[in-house]
Amino acid sequence: MMFDKFKPMADFQAELAERSVEPFGAITEKILSATEGVVQGRNVILAGTNNYLGLSFDPRCIKAAQDATALWGTGTTGSRLANGSFAEHQALETEIAQFYGVDNAIVFSTGYTATMGMCATLAGPGDVILLDADSHASIYTGVKLSGAEIIRFKHSDPEDLAKRLRRLGDRAHQTLIIAEGIYSMLGDVAPLQEIAAVKREYGGYLFVDEAHSMGVMGATGRGAAQAAGVEADVDFFCGTFSKSLGAIGGFCVSRHAELAAIRFCINSYIFTASSSPSVIASTREALRITAAEPELQAKLWDNCNRLYQGLKSMGLPVGPTASPVVAVAMEDRSRTIDCWKALMEAGVYVNLVIPPASPSTNFLLRNSVSAAHTSAQIDAIIAAYAGLKSAGLITGTQAH
């Protein structure tokens, strides 16, 4: 039967319903601020939003979106190639290229279509793609569409990357190497200095998805490559407007002038409607604020360190370093669901992550930190985890 393969998911849904939990697609009834909402009838601190700089509620971004709606209407009703290229889209492309100090940029309707479209288009039949084994679904989907030979290297392992490039011999020059800045599930940062050194030695093109690191790392918020000082080695940067910039949309920037031609070869750019003017306008404002107010990044990291230290000192299995994504690794699915539910009851909304979305066999209670969290809110999140511990739902000894 065609539908047999969906049975495990149907069974899992039934199990969740029986236990009265709805971790996937829990309905947010009201958003009160960047860090508070009413979810399933409960006032909660939002600790799973990816709203790293808290800009979704910045009055300047809201005003820009409102003004743009009044001026341009609610939607473009067409793709960039048809009727959907407004002056707003072009202005954002100029500004995001300037933000990265390069000449070429493409704005996409979502981060997913940006990353997927670039990965599907840059390398083709006869080329090779070397991607980090823990890459995001948008990367995996894209590379499958590319027609290139696909090889995975061990997660964040530059030596394994070098070994595989060495084996390729001359074909190394025709290879697209793909990594992310901060990995979305565990919050670990890619060793971009080492990866860039490998690329310099063997050749190829380096593509970095800065979805979770833009606005979060680097002196001017350009991401992990800027923080590592290796931007000159990166051929293509992709990212999203849905996290630090508080809206929706994606981008690719590059110093390669060929991006102008590549633009017209990307299906996920050509055959989908362009972003609404309000979204583009708030993104432009958020980008301006990100560049002008580095104190937001500093506040974010204060909060990251506070949450990380709080959970770590309780003995919880968090990652090796503080990060805007703080994930608590769990081994038992049923126990993880109990913890998610108990956190909701304690007024804290986090992300429940199950394989294959989590990169190992672990289940995760994934917290994401915002510059807009107050210290008191971070302490309340820590206290909610302490509650799990005293209720015996979580111990300090689970392996990460």
Q: Which residues bind ligand PMP (CB under 6 A)?
A: 110-112, 115, 136, 138, 180, 184, 209, 211-212, 240, 242, 250
318 contacts 311 by C-beta, under 8 angstroms: yes
Residue placing its CB nearer to ligand PMP in the complex, 209 or 338: 209
242 vs 254, beta carbon nearer ligand PMP: 242
Helices (H), the chain: 7-18, 59-72, 87-100, 111-121, 137-146, 158-168, 192-202, 224-228, 259-262, 267-270, 277-292, 294-313, 333-345, 375-390
Min dist CB 319 to ligand PMP, Å, is 16
CB closer to ligand PMP, 162 vs 182: 182
Please state the closest distance from residue 240 (CB atom) to ligand PMP, in A.
3
Give me the residue whose beta carbon is nearest to ligand PMP.
111
CB of 50 to ligand PMP, least distance (A): 7
With respect to ligand PMP, which residue has the nearer C-beta, 184 or 303? 184
Task: Give me the torsion for CA of 160, 164, 165, 167, rounded to 10°.
Answer: 140
The region that residue 385 occupies, defined by phi over 0 for left and psi between -120 and 50 for alpha, beta otherwise, is alpha
- The structure tokens listed for 312 are 């770590």
Closest CB 80 distance from ligand PMP, rounded Å: 17
| Least distance in angstroms from the C-beta of 171 to ligand PMP | 26
Could you tell me which residues come within 8 angstroms of residue 166 by beta carbon, excluding any fewer than 6 positions away?
A: 172, 202
**Inter-residue contact 344 to 359 (CB < 8 Å):** no
Of 112 and 202, CB closest to ligand PMP: 112
Closest Cα to residue 283, out of 92, 134, 90, 84? 92
- How does DSSP classify residue 372? T
When the beta carbons of 140 and 205 are compared against ligand PMP, the nearer one is 140
Minimum distance between the CB of residue 281 and ligand PMP, rounded to whole angstroms? 17
> At closest approach, how far in Å is the CB of 355 from ligand PMP?
16
Closer residue to ligand PMP in complex, CB, 115/290: 115
Residues 152, 175 contacting (CB under 8 angstroms):
no
d(CA 270, CA 273): 8
Least distance to ligand PMP, CB of residue 2, Å = 28
The DSSP code sequence of 133-182 is TT--HHHHHHHHHH-SEEEEE-TT-HHHHHHHHHHHGGGGGGEEEEEESB
Q: For residues 142 and 317, which CB has a smaller minimum distance to ligand PMP in the complex?
A: 142
Return the number of other C-beta atoms located less than 10 Å from residue 15's C-beta.
13
